[in-house]
């Protein structure tokens, strides 16, 4: 199995793989409302958890920067505060950044290397959770001889 995500770019020379940079904010605020809003160019989400809330986000194709930026923080806070105004003064716990493996299209295929099967499954971008069940079914089919 090859599920190396962004590392497939260097490991396999797959230049179709690129980062999709995401930034979120963890805040301390006792509001139990969850919101998802697709009215901006990127998804706005507010996810309450036991001890904090996660606010997001951004999705920036081709951006390798792993450092949080104040520009993205301000953008996220503005989007989320438009939904829940109390978020504007919330205590910020931390900013987090991650890179998702994007690709021109998901690579889900079997190839043979040195007479051994290798199943590739990467490049899901910000749809990894959404696509995971269907891709897992297809992987099982490929492993079982498909």
Question: Residue 90: which CATH number?
Answer: 3.30.9.10
Separation in Å, CA 105 to CA 27, 29, 78: 34, 39, 32
Q: Are residues 77 and 123 in the same domain?
A: no
Q: Are residues 9 and 23 in the same domain?
A: no
Q: Both tokens of residue 47? A: 């996810």
Beta-bridge partner residues of 44: 37
Q: Are residues 72 and 117 in the same domain?
A: no
User: What is the reported pLDDT for 38?
Assistant: 82
Q: Which domain holds residue 118?
A: 5-13+104-143
Q: Can you give the pLDDT of all 146 residues of the chain as single tens digits?
A: 999 999 999 999 999 999 999 999 999 998 898 998 887 678 899 999 999 999 999 999 999 999 999 999 999 999 999 999 999 989 999 999 999 999 999 999 999 989 999 999 999 987 877 888 899 999 999 999 86
Cα first-last separation, the chain: 15
Q: Are residues 36 and 79 in the same domain?
A: yes
Q: Are residues 112 and 95 in the same domain?
A: no
Q: Are residues 96 and 110 in the same domain?
A: no
Q: Are residues 33 and 64 in the same domain?
A: yes
Total domain count for the chain?
2
CA distance 57 to 73: 9
Q: Are residues 42 and 56 in the same domain?
A: yes
CA distance 100 to 114: 30
CA distance 60 to 72: 10
CA distance 126 to 112: 28
Q: Are residues 84 and 113 in the same domain?
A: no
CA distance 47 to 28: 12
Contact between 79 and 40 (Cβ < 8 Å): yes
Q: Are residues 37 and 64 in the same domain?
A: yes
DSSP 87: G
Q: Are residues 95 and 114 in the same domain?
A: no
Q: Are residues 96 and 108 in the same domain?
A: no
At residue 88, the 3 state secondary structure works out as helix
């Amino acid at each position: 199995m090859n599920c190396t995500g962004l590392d497939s770019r260097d490991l396999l020379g797959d230049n179709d793989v690129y980062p999709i940079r995401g930034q979120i904010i963890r805040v301390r605020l006792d509001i139990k409302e969850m919101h998802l809003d697709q009215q901006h160019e990127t998804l706005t989400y507010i996810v309450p958890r036991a001890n904090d809330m996660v606010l997001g986000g951004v999705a920036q194709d081709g951006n390798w920067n792993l450092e949080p930026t104040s520009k993205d923080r301000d953008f996220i806070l503005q989007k989320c505060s438009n939904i829940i105004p109390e978020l504007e003064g919330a205590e910020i716990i931390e900013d987090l950044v991650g890179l998702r493996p994007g690709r021109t299209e998901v690579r889900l295929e079997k190839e043979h290397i040195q007479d051994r099967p290798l199943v590739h499954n990467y490049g899901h971008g910000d749809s990894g959770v959404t696509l995971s069940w269907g891709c897992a079914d297809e992987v099982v089919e490929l492993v079982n001889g498909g």
